[in-house]
């Protein structure tokens, strides 16, 4: 039976959209007849290749999309309140800075993937965008790309749908660059955030996943290389709040 793909919501503002997730299904068989060791090894390698992470947990790719979807279904009603509580409201400043860097003009074709506000919405898959090539002037994604099953595919799709000269902007949690702040941040993340999730949203597990997914996301330099590998040029990033988050910028030339 086919598995649900990474569900995605899109928000089309002035031509702008947003997204969430899906995963794929690959079936493997095991053989017990003599002489099948090579086949077994190949199937074992294929099985490992279809595994991914959900926070610190290892899951199959077909499972991850559904798990991520359940997390956001669970936290939706208290999402904004929890963001304010967890970041002491600083997340709003991070998003304002992203908008300032974007500087959209009237008529800008803007694709906002994985959240945000806008006028029209489309349900789709960040790894298979339902849009033509060379369509958008700007692609933005805030606090969403770390939840995608195949980040490289999402980046390639971002590159595909942007016009030549179009800009990619990503706001995402990143790697803290100060050792003292890093220790305090870990303490706060693992000891306080899940408790807040339980008290405010009645959901410990979703916020435990949030913390773990942040720790699994590539560092600023590693993510920069992934963006370059997707075909983008002039890739830069700016770390904010000691690297708790970073804004990555790139262009399709």
Name the binding residues for S-adenosyl-L-methionine: 117, 125-126
CA–CA distances in Å: residue 198 to residues 58, 91, 186, 191, 213 = 24, 20, 18, 12, 18
Angle 220-229/151-161 helices, nearest 10 degrees?
50
Strand pairing class (57-60; 110-113) = unpaired
What's the sign of the alpha-carbon dihedral 74, 146, 198, 92? negative
Known binding residues = 117, 125-126
Nearest to 168 by CA among 191, 142, 201: 142
The per-residue b/e assignment along 67-94, b for 16 or more CB within 10 angstroms, e otherwise, is bbbebbebbeebeeebbebbeeeebeeb
Nearest to 59 by CA among 47, 71, 69, 70: 47
Measured between alpha carbons, how far is 24 from 22 in angstroms, rounded to an integer? 7
């Amino acid at each position: 039976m086919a598995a649900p793909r990474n569900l995605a919501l899109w928000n089309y503002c002035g031509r702008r959209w947003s997204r969430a997730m899906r995963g794929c299904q690959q079936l493997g068989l095991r053989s017990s007849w003599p002489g099948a060791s090579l086949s077994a090894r190949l199937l074992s390698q294929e099985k490992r290749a279809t595994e991914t992470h959900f926070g610190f947990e290892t899951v199959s790719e077909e499972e991850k999309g559904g798990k991520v979807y359940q997390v956001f279904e669970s936290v939706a009603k208290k999402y904004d309140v929890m963001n304010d509580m967890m970041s002491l409201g600083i997340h709003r400043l991070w998003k304002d800075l992203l908008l300032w860097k974007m500087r959209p003009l009237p008529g800008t074709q803007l694709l906002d993937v994985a959240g945000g506000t806008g006028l029209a919405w489309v349900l789709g898959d960040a790894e298979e965008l339902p849009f033509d090539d060379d369509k958008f002037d700007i692609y933005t994604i805030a606090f969403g790309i770390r939840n995608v099953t195949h980040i490289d595919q999402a980046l390639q799709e971002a590159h595909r749908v942007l016009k030549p000269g179009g800009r990619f902007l990503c706001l995402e949690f990143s790697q803290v660059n100060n050792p003292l702040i890093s220790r305090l941040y870990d303490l706060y993340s693992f000891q306080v955030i899940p408790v807040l999730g339980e008290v405010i949203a009645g959901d410990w597990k979703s916020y435990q996943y949030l913390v773990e997914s942040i720790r699994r996301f590539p560092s600023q330099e590693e993510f920069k290389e992934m963006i370059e590998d997707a075909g983008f040029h002039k890739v830069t990033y700016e770390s904010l709040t000691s690297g708790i988050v970073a804004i990555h910028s790139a262009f399709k030339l």
